[in-house]
Amino acid sequence: MQSMKEMSRYQARRRIAVAIIIALLFLALLFVRSAWPSGIHEYIEAFGLGFIIVAILGRMWCTLYIGGHKGAQIIRTGPYSLSRNPLYVFSAIGAFGIGCLTGSLGVAFLLAVACYVTFLFVILAEEGYLENTFGQSYRDYKTDVPRFFPRFSDYRDVETLTIRPKTLYNTFFDGLVFFVAFPFFETVEHLQSAGFIPILFYTY
């Protein structure tokens, strides 16, 4: 990636690809049912909602630091001192939470891994652009901070932040999309129980 324009085109294609993958996954999950007893199933769903809340709050935390600066400068404080891609980390947590709403830990881990692999391709492309743009400064950042999985011992913060409320609000409302999965999977469960949707296999 040599320019912001090329990066924008790539990200637009990436969003389309991710949307298609998500649609296919949700289509496949129509025919899957949790094999856990009802009580455990409900607990897994409750944990899923918790993970989704963590994902939304985490993405907002990231936006406090990166809002309006992405691609313009390197942010090395707050969540960006733990991971170079904390927005993607919290999105993967959200994907895990969505998977839990099916009542299946297997589905949850599958969605989280699929999310991680998808983001990995995006991250590699973005790294090329950032290294080309910021040079040694970004290479030093790559050396100091992990690509994805956080290293909490390196946390650094600042005393003050300049916040763009509109960007923060947009991140919050975007995150609410995660909750759409809850009524979706609840409806699927009722339709499966009523025999309108066949259950092809069970999973833990």
Q: Are 108 and 94 in contact (CB under 8 A)?
A: no
Q: What letter represents residue 189's amino acid?
A: E
Cα separation, 3 vs 9, in Å, equals: 10
| Buried b / exposed e along 81-102 (16+ C-beta atoms within 10 A) | bbbbbbbbbbbbbbbbbbbbbb
Please say if the pLDDT value at position 48 is more than 90. Answer: yes
Q: Tell the residue number behind the tokens 């009802």, with chain if given.
A: 38
* Mean pLDDT across 31-41: 89
Cα separation, 190 vs 100, in Å, equals: 17
Range of the domain at 107: 4-203
The pLDDT score that the predictor gives to residue 71 is 58
The 10s digit of each residue's pLDDT in 3-13 is: 566 666 666 76
* Mean pLDDT across 14-33: 77
Number of CB atoms found within 10 A of residue 114's CB: 17
DSSP string, the chain: --SHHHHHHHHHHHHHHHHHHHHHHHHHHTTEEE-S-HHHHHHHHHHHHHHHHHHHHHHHHHHHHHTTTTTTS---SGGGGT-S-HHHHHHHHHHHHHHHTTT-HHHHHHHHHHHHHHHHHHHHHHHHHHHHHHTHHHHHHHHHS-SSS--GGG----S-----HHHHHHHHHHHGGGGGHHHHHHHHHHHHHTTSS---EEE-
Please say if the pLDDT value at position 147 is more than 90. Answer: yes
- The CATH number assigned to the domain holding 175 equals 1.20.120
CA distances from 152 to 67, 78, 80, 81, 149 (A): 22, 11, 11, 8, 10
Q: Whole-model pTM?
A: 0.88
Q: Count the domains in the chain.
A: 1
The 10s digit of each residue's pLDDT in 125-136 is: 888 888 888 888
More confident residue, 50 or 129: 50
More confident residue, 9 or 35: 35
